[in-house]
Structure 1
Amino acid sequence: MKKILLVGAGGTLGSAVATHLRQQHDVITASRSDPAHPVDLGSDDSVTALLQSVGKVDAIVATTGAVHFGPLGEMTAAQFDIGLQDKLLGQVRLALLGQHHLNEGGSITLTTGILTEQPIAQGANATAVNAAIEGFVRAAALELPRGLRINAVSPSVLLEAWDSYAGFFPGFEAVTAARAALAYQRSIDGIANGQVFKVW
């Protein structure tokens, strides 16, 4: 049984990942609103405090991150920066600080999405941010010491959110959060390093 820190467990994807992983592992959940383990991925101090409070872990998982959706012709740099600061730097910050709190052979799993390779209208920020996270994962995998590994999971739009997002994803096939959760287990319990697990 592995000790896993899951950040973003309050969301649809995160809750499904937590449910699945708890069948075999000890999962500690954290989020902005978590009463026991609150965390703001925008703050070094907040992430450091979380990591110190939970102690050494075998895996760190992030299933969180906001991006800006809107027409390119109206997008401002400040709006584009939302995705850079929240989803990109938030997950990267967790990985950079978290690597020092992992047991030998531990793993980090970040979250991107189908828009990395299949852009949609009004999704330029999401595509850019997801691609940057995947680039970070590929490069970081080559430098991590002590047998540590890092991967990303790239799910399609979730079936549970389809009613809200169907208009943005014409012709796309939604996937269940439970199916996406399997990829996080592959990252944690497998041997892959620097990989992107696509759940499309």
Structure 2
Amino acid sequence: MTRLSGKVALVTGAGRGIGRAVALRLAEDGATVAVNFRSSAADAEHLVTELEERGGQAVAIRADVTDLAETKRLVEQAVETYGRLDILVSNAGIEHFAPLGEITPEDFDRVFAVNTKGQLFAAQQAARHLRPGGRIVLTSSVSATRSVFHHTLYAASKAAVNSMVVNLAAELGQRGITINAIAPGGTATDMAATNAVHYRHPLLDVPLPEWEKMHCALGRLARPEEIAAVTAFLVSDDACYITGRTIEADGGFF
């Protein structure tokens, strides 16, 4: 497919999981991809090699999106490398589960620094370089609008993302740029392998696979490439009249 031919995309948190799948899909659709990572250098370099072996162009750029100076450098390096920026997919994020009485100020700062602050300033810095037709996709979660036991801090950090895209849409729309968010449900990544059990209410004594069938219309976790497919739609011309929206890709979570 070539619907993103000539476009340059920056994907944050692209070394693993959903971010990796997004980078692969955007490259498959013709985009040149800047692969951001913070600590998973080997994964990011392996992804770049894979993209190049498939005939694409890619570069790995280390940056911590919780640091504005590093985010600014990340975006500028992508632009300097390829001469332009057309797409930002802000995917970097961290999980958190804890009851109210155990949430600390340090937890709050750490979770919001990545999931909220990091995404806001990634959008800010990317928007400085985007032209009319530019696309920004942030990453929310179905937890932002669902009640999940002990998930308050994480859910709040993602609910803020939903509000950001609603409010930034009008501002960026004046420049012909769209901004949306994608809210995945449970997705088969290493993060899910670690945290999926926490989504089950502690009083519900049901094996995790059965719980997934009970709470998802499709009865299974998403594959990362399925989330990537929705992201690829949002950054394409097919989604040119969609902005300020959070798209839930959750398999019918209830």
TM-score, structure 1 normalization: 0.93
Q: Which amino acid in the other structure matches residue 45 of structure 1? A: A
Match of 2:63 in 1: 39
Which residue matches 1:183? 230
TM superposition shift of 1:62: 1.0
Quick check: 1:22 aligned with 2:27?
yes
Contact kept in structure 2, 1:68 and 1:82, CA below 8 Å: no
> Helix, strand or coil: the match of 1:101?
coil
- Give the one of 45, 53, 69 matched to 2:77: 53
What letter corresponds to residue 97 of structure 1 in structure 2? Q
**Aligned equivalent of 1:199:** 249
- Trace 1:1-200 onto structure 2 (pairs within 5 A): 1=5, 2-24=7-29, 25-33=31-39, 34=41, 36-55=60-79, 56-144=84-172, 145-161=174-190, 162-170=192-200, 171=211, 172-173=215-216, 174-189=221-236, 190-191=239-240, 192-200=242-250
| Shift in CA distance, 57/159, structure 1 to aligned 2, threshold 3 Å | same
| Offset at residue 133 of structure 1 (A) | 0.6
Could you tell me how far 1:67 is from its partner in structure 2? 4.1
Consecutive unaligned residues in structure 2, runs of 5 or more = 46-59, 201-210
The 1-side partners of 2:170 and 2:8 are apart by 24
1:106-159 Cα distance to aligned partner (Å, 9 max, x none): 011110111011121111011101110110110000111320110001000112
State the Cα distance separating 1:6 from its structure 2 match: 0.8
Larger strand proportion of the pair: 1
Is the 1:67–1:86 Cα contact (8 Å) retained in structure 2? no
**Inter-partner Cα distance in structure 2 for 1:49 and 1:159:** 31
Aligned-partner residue type, residue 26 of structure 1: T
Give the residue type in structure 2 aligned to 1:20: R
Report if aligned partners of 2:85, 2:126 keep a CA contact under 8 Å in 1: no
Aligned partners of 1:75, 1:166: CA distance in 2, in Å?
Answer: 20
Amino acid of the residue matched to residue 180 of structure 2?
A: N
Letter in 2 for 1:9: A
CA separation of 1:52 and 1:166: change in aligned 2, threshold 3 A = closer
Q: Is the 8 A contact 2:141 2:184 kept in 1?
A: yes
Q: Which segments of structure 1 move beyond 3 Å, counting only runs of 4 or more?
A: 33-36, 160-163
Distance in 2 (CA, whole Å) between partners of 1:159 and 1:96 is: 30
The AA in structure 2 aligned to 1:11 is R
RMSD over aligned CA atoms reads 1.6
Q: Which amino acid aligns with 1:51?
A: V
> In the alignment, is the contact (CA less than 8 A) between 2:12 and 2:36 conserved in 1?
yes
How far apart, CA to CA, are the structure 2 residues paired with 1:3 and 1:116?
30
Q: TM-score, normalised by structure 2?
A: 0.74
Pairwise CA distance, 1:98: 1.2
* Percent identical: 27
What secondary structure, in the 3-state scheme, does the structure 1 residue paired with 2:73 have? Answer: helix
Distance 1:109 1:164 in 2: 25
Instruction: Tell me how many residue pairs correspond in the alignment.
Output: 200
Unaligned runs of 5+ in 1: none
